[in-house]
Amino acid sequence: MKKINIFCFGFGKVAKYFIKNISKKYEINLAATSREETQKKKIFGIKYDCFKFINDEFDNKLLNQIKKYDHILISIPPNDGIDIVLKNFQKLLTASEINWITYLSATNVYGDHQGRWVDESSELNPSTKAGKSRLNAEKKWIEFCNNEKIPLRIFRLSGIYSQENNILKRIKSGLQKIVNKPNHFFSRIHIEDIANILEITLNKKVIKSGEICNLSDDYPCSNIEIVNYAYNLMKMSKPKMIETNEIESEMLRDFYKDSKKVSNKKIKETLSYKLKFPTYKEGLNEIYDHFV
């Protein structure tokens, strides 16, 4: 079994699904960061060190460990417009021999395109604070990796859903809101498809260094369409629809600022990848079949 050394800055659901995928094919030397105190952990039969890292506060033991890893996955979002991984560990990354570095960004960098299709060449005009921070982080990573001749790939993720985080759970908990904005288009992607694509890119020849790719499914649509499908699947009656000016959550308000359809043509053609969940229907149907 081939050995691989991977350091994950941030160890959320995407990173964990990715590690779970490749654990079937690789002998993994793994380390990661989290907001918890430094500790030894075990996941999918893999023992690993998980180092504390919150903004500019981190366990100094981390400094001696990073250079041991030649595969780096960054899934930590920027903090107030600043990428905290680059801010704190740029010199260490420069001194490391890195074969694969992947930055997980988001499609909010495109901003509002009034429901039109966007691809990797589209205008970047983020309308939210989070989107502007993501775009700034992308530029910093590109500049750094170009200067240091480090192989970089950036994936712009659409809305992520999974068995653990999905609309069916929100409906069951009573937290799902139905917002009256029928012509608001957005894209999503199942977390398993993200993990599958990241695994394929471990072969550094399939995507050139410096490439940026969207990760989304085949069918952008309105949230109302998904909500209607989900409530029918759950055989539950829908609550009263609310207007956008009634939204209390800042994150949800930001979601409705941008309307766009995110093209996945580039990643599908580059990798010859066939999505496991090409639309929300396949994804929600499988989630429902395993729903507790």
- CA 105 to chain centroid: 6
Token representation of residue 104:
């997980």
User: Cα–Cα distance between 76 and 54 in angstroms, integer?
Assistant: 10
Could you give the CA distance from residue 50 to residue 32 in angstroms, rounded to a whole number?
5
Per-residue pLDDT tens digits for 226-240:
999 999 999 998 888
Residue 178 confidence (pLDDT): 85
Backbone angles phi, psi at 213, to 5 degrees: -135, 140
Least confident stretch, 80-89, 112-121, 172-181? 172-181
The structure tokens listed for 40 are 């030894």
Model's pTM, two decimal places? 0.95
What one-character-per-residue DSSP string does 237-263 give?
A: -----B-GGG---HHHHHHTT---EE-
Both tokens of 166, joined, read 């999905």
Is the pLDDT at 291 greater than 80? The verdict is no
109 and 124 Cβ atoms separated by less than 8 Å: yes
> Is the confidence at residue 204, as pLDDT, over 80?
no
Structure tokens at 64: 């001696």
CB 159 within 8 A of CB 130: no
For domain 2-162+189-216+263-275, give its CATH number from 1.10.274.10, 3.40.50.970, 3.40.50.300, 3.40.50.720: 3.40.50.720
How far, in Å, CA of 221 to CA of 16, rounded?
Answer: 28
Bridge pairing between strands 100-106 and 26-34 = unpaired
Do 182 and 224 meet the contact criterion of CB atoms below 8 Å apart? yes
Contact 108, 128 (CB under 8 A): yes
pLDDT in the model for residue 249: 82
Residue 174 tokens, joined: 């009573």
* Phi, psi values for residue 149, rounded to 5°: 55, 45
Per residue in 258-277, pLDDT (tens digit) is 999 999 999 999 999 999 99
Q: Where are the beta strands (DSSP E) in 71-192?
A: 71-74, 100-106, 117-118, 152-157, 159-161, 185-186, 188-190
Cα 171 to Cα 175: distance, rounded to the nearest angstrom:
6
Do residues 51 and 35 make contact, with C-beta atoms less than 8 angstroms apart?
A: no
Closest Cα to residue 214, out of 133, 130, 271?
A: 271
- Tell me, what's the pLDDT at 175? 81
CB 101 within 8 A of CB 72: yes
Each domain of the chain, given as residue ranges in start order, spans 2-162+189-216+263-275
Q: Provide DSSP, 130-144.
A: HHHHHHHHHHHHHHH
